[in-house]
Structure formats: C-alpha cells, structure tokens
Amino acid sequence: MKTKLNYRLFFVAIFILFVRFFSFAAEKWSVREVRAAGPEEEKFFSRPVDLEIDKERVFILDSQESTIAVFSFEGKRLYNIGKYGRGPGEFIHPADMSLGEEEIAVLDSEDFKVLLFSTAGSYKDGFRVGFRGHRLLRLSKDKFMISRLPRQKENNTFLLYCFDRQGKWQFQAEKVSSTESGAYDYFLFQHWLVKLEEKAVLLKPFGSELAIFLDENGRRTKTLKPTPDYPTLWFKPPLSRVKNIQGLFWSAALSGDNFYFILPGKMEDGDLGPSNRVAVVNFDGQLRGVITFPLTISKLAVLKNRIFVIDEAAQLRLFDLFKSD
C-alpha cells in the first residue's frame, strides 16, 4: 500500500515538473524576410542611430545625414524630415528621436535642443535644454524626458531630466556619480529609454538590472532582473580594476506586452556586439521566446508579426515572425 502511494506521488511530481518546464521554457521563434518595395539603394544609411514605427510608417534617424528617412510598411521610401543647420526645423547632430501621436521629437546633442515635427514632416516647435543630451523620450504632448550622462568625476548628479513643451524643467531622477574612467562609466550608465503608458522604462544593457520602471515623477516602481534562463553574456572589459560584467543586450525595443532585446554575441573581429538573436521578455521579466534571424541585426522595431530591422550593413530590412513547429 505504502509503495503504491510512493509511486503515485512520484508520478504526480514528474507530471508537475513536466507541466512547469513546458509552460516556462522559452519558445524558439523564427522569421522570414519580406521583399521590400522600392529601390534597394534607398534603404542604406550612413549612421542610423534610431529606428521607430507608428501604425503605418517606419522612421529612421540618420545622424550623419542629419535627417529622418520615412518609409511605408512595405519598405517604400516616402519623404525626409529635417535637415542640417541651426535654423528652425534644422539640427546639427541628431542623437535620438521619440515618436508620439502624430508628432516626432528629435534631440540635437550639438545644439542642446529638442525639435518637434509633425509625422508628416512639418516643423512645429522646439526648446533648449542647456546640456548635451544622450537619449530622448516623448512621454506625452507636454512631457519630455532627456537623459544626460555624467561628466568625469561628477558626483550626485542625475541621469534623467524631464521638461515640458516650453522647455521648463519639471523634475530629475536616477541619481548617479561618475568614476574617473569614461569607459567604466559607459558600462555603468549606458541605457535606452522606452515608453509604457506615458511612463518611462529605463533599459540597461550592462549589469544586473535589465529594466527599471518609473512612475510619472521618475521614481522607481519596479525593477526587472534577468531570469536564470535569460541568455546573459559575461565578459571581462579591457579595464584594469574591473572584473566581469554581465552583458544583457545590444539594443532594445518595446512592442505590445514585450521587450525585444537584441542579444550580444561575438563579432568577426573578436569584439562583442550585436548578434542574430532577439530575446522576447514580458513585463514580469519572464523570457517568452528567442527569435533567430538569418543575419546579424543592430536595431529593431516590432509591430505584431512584422519586424523592421537595421542590419550590419546599415540597411533597412523587413521580416515576418512565425513560431517554429
């Protein structure tokens, strides 16, 4: 009787483990390239620094060409937004952009300003920020978050600054102190900003914090750490006094209920850079799947099953996502 009960318990335990394993295991997803409309040569860029999408268009910020190239979802080049200069609607060195409802904000890190355009391309407005911004996030029509990396040996400063549409300072968040090394600061403070319901999420490619959710005043509400099944890359940076660092992603995007992290990998020259794999993580930090591309990608934007990527040759390419059998 006792042996029979033990057998039953054993099988129940095995069944529970089986169900847990298959319900939590990350799925393997793959993609199929979609042939884009329009001439191939129009899809190459000099220095694409950001890729974003709305419901019908793809926007690519090219910092070298000082313009935003706009494409249809089929990959046809439609028009450009902005040009080089110091006048209204012109920028010297666009470092980042952020897309909102019918409006696109561009951060000029050389002229210390934010420019606002309609998504159709006309210049609307702008404001000065008084420092060299690193990343920009348009939280709402009247709320813009700009990040600033600390200067060497700068203590107790802030990473994030929020402004209204007139350029009036609202609040600052994420206190930081720099080290003596710019390279070490890079591994400490490098980040991406994405928007979730008019609030900012700070994504960190290095360290133990993958995503930091902030409230409307920039205070931390939740921190996601990589789960044990997240494909982390540990490496020793070329810095004395610095031990191993946890490399989490190359670049990232948010779409629907998931973050999409381009995973780091070994490049041809032995350096660590982007790979052909993307980790899909939900807002609870659970790894939902890993997408494998046929080529290395450096930037991506996702809308349902359509994925827009910039490849290693700085070319825009389109893919459809499907789950493998």
Partner 1 sequence: MRQVIGVALLVLLAVGLLVLPLVVAAQSNSDHCYDEWERCRARAFESDAGWFKTALMLTICDIALGKCLLKAA
Structure tokens at 62: 């090219």
CB of 134 or CB of 143, closer to partner 1: 134
Sole residue written with tokens 């042996």: 3
> Which of 93, 124, 141, 195 is close enough to bind partner 1 by CB under 8 A?
93
Distance of CA 57 to the CA centre of its chain: 18
Tell which one of 78, 239, 303, 321 touches partner 1 (CB under 8 A): 239
Report the distance separating Cα 51 and Cα 35, nearest Å.
19
Residues 128-187 that bind partner 1 (CB under 8 A): 132, 134, 149, 151-152, 181-183, 185-187
State yes or no: residue 95 binds partner 1 (CB under 8 A).
yes
Q: What share of the chain is helix, strand, coil (3-state, %, to 5)?
A: 10, 50, 40
63 binds partner 1 (CB under 8 A): yes
User: For residues 113 and 143, which CB has a smaller minimum distance to partner 1 in the complex?
Assistant: 113
> Which stretch, 5-13, 35-43, 219-227, 268-276, contacts partner 1 (CB under 8 A)?
268-276
DSSP string, 194-231: EEETTEEEEE-SBSS-SEEEE-TTS-EEEEE---TTS-
HSE, side-chain direction, 13 A CA sphere, residue 260? 24
* Window contacting partner 1 (CB under 8 A); options: 119-127, 193-201, 216-224, 231-239: 231-239
- Distance in Å, CB of 82 to partner 1, minimum: 17
247 and 225 in contact (C-beta within 8 Å)? no
Residue 235 binds partner 1, judged by CB under 8 A: yes
* CB 130 to partner 1: min, Å: 13
Cβ closest to partner 1, residue 237 vs residue 285? 237
Exposure letters 11-41 (e unless 16+ CB within 10 A, then b): eeeeeeeeeeeeeeebeebebeebebeeeee
Q: Could you list the beta-strand ranges (E) of 54-184.
A: 57-62, 67-72, 77-81, 83-84, 90-91, 94-100, 103-108, 113-118, 123-128, 135-140, 143-147, 157-163, 169-176
**Quick one: which of 196, 272, 303, 321 contacts partner 1 (CB under 8 A)?**
272
Give the nearer residue to partner 1 in terms of CB position, either 152 or 217: 152
Q: Closer to partner 1 by CB, 101 or 271: give it.
A: 271
Within residues 282-321, the interface with partner 1 by CB under 8 A covers: 298
Taking the complex as a whole, the smallest distance from the CB of residue 121 to partner 1 amounts, in Å, to 23
In whole angstroms, the minimum distance from the beta carbon of 24 to partner 1 comes to: 30
Nearest to 148 by CA among 181, 193, 195, 207: 193
Q: Give the residues lining the site for partner 1 (CB under 8 A).
A: 47, 49, 63, 93, 95, 109-110, 132, 134, 149, 151-152, 181-183, 185-187, 190, 235, 237-239, 247, 264, 267, 269-273, 298
